[in-house]
Structure 1
Amino acid sequence: MSEPQNVPVTAVPGDARVLDVREDYEWEAGHIDGAVHIPLDQLPERFGELDPDEDLHVICRAGGRSQRAAEWLESHGYTAINVSGGMGAWLEAGRPMVSETGSEPAVL
């Protein structure tokens, strides 16, 4: 099994397909506009919602859950790239975010 590639948030293209594997409350507080949200524990049931021909940039809060998700996706024939540092690094880099709460986007 190949190891997924790891990239810093600054290397994620603006048009990248991003898969966010955080929990619902984390997603609602702040996420990347246009990202797909499938919590890590739901991935085995829901991965069919993802396009196997599309490169997926996988993100979580800090990089641990997304690394596990990327490895799992790679083992199922997907091309998955782990976003190092996760949403914490995304926020620190000043990359754009939206929230579902009406408040300023935050990383929980």
Structure 2
Amino acid sequence: MPTVGVDELSDGDFLLDVREDDEWQAGHAAGALHIPMSDFVSRYGELTEAAPQDGRINVICRSGGRSAQVTAYLAQQGLDAVNVEGGMQVWEAAGRPVVDDKGQPGSVI
């Protein structure tokens, strides 16, 4: 499974958050695309429209389990996808910004 550490990500890197709606609303990385894993197959087209054509898709969830499954699926589709190691828990612990669904400071649940 290809992985990337939170510390290896830049502000401009494409980030796909596959957590559920309540998790997203409580806190997420600003600028991330949100497609819950439970809706992923039916909303796959949103990803193909938003993702950079020749760039990497960094997939994140709370701790890395769900994002690993989505990363594997994307790799099977021939896309350049990597799992963000440790997920949003590590993102928040590293001091990376977390915002709620209103753009205010958020938290990871």
TM-score of the pair, normalised by structure 1? 0.89
**Runs (5+) with no aligned partner, structure 2:** none
Contact 1:7/1:84 (8 A) holds in 2:
yes
Contact 1:62/1:88 (8 A) holds in 2:
yes
1:92–1:45 distance in 2 versus 1, CA, 3 Å: same
Match of residue 24 from structure 2? 27
Match of residue 79 from structure 1? 80
How many residues align structurally?
A: 105
2:10, 2:81 → 1: CA distance?
14
1:102, 1:35 → 2: CA distance?
12
Match of residue 68 from structure 1? 69
The CA RMSD over aligned residues, in Å, is 1.5
Of 44, 49, 52, the match for 2:46? 49
Runs of 4+ in 1 over 6 A off after TM superposition: none
TM-score of the pair, normalised by structure 2? 0.89
1:88, 1:39 → 2: CA distance?
17
User: Taking every aligned residue pair, what percent have the same amino acid on both sides?
Assistant: 44
Give per-residue Cα distances to partners, 1:57-104, cap 9 Å, x unaligned: 000000000000000111112111100000000000001121125764
1:105, 1:44 → 2: CA distance?
28
Q: Give the stretch that moved more between structures: 71-80 or 52-61.
A: 52-61
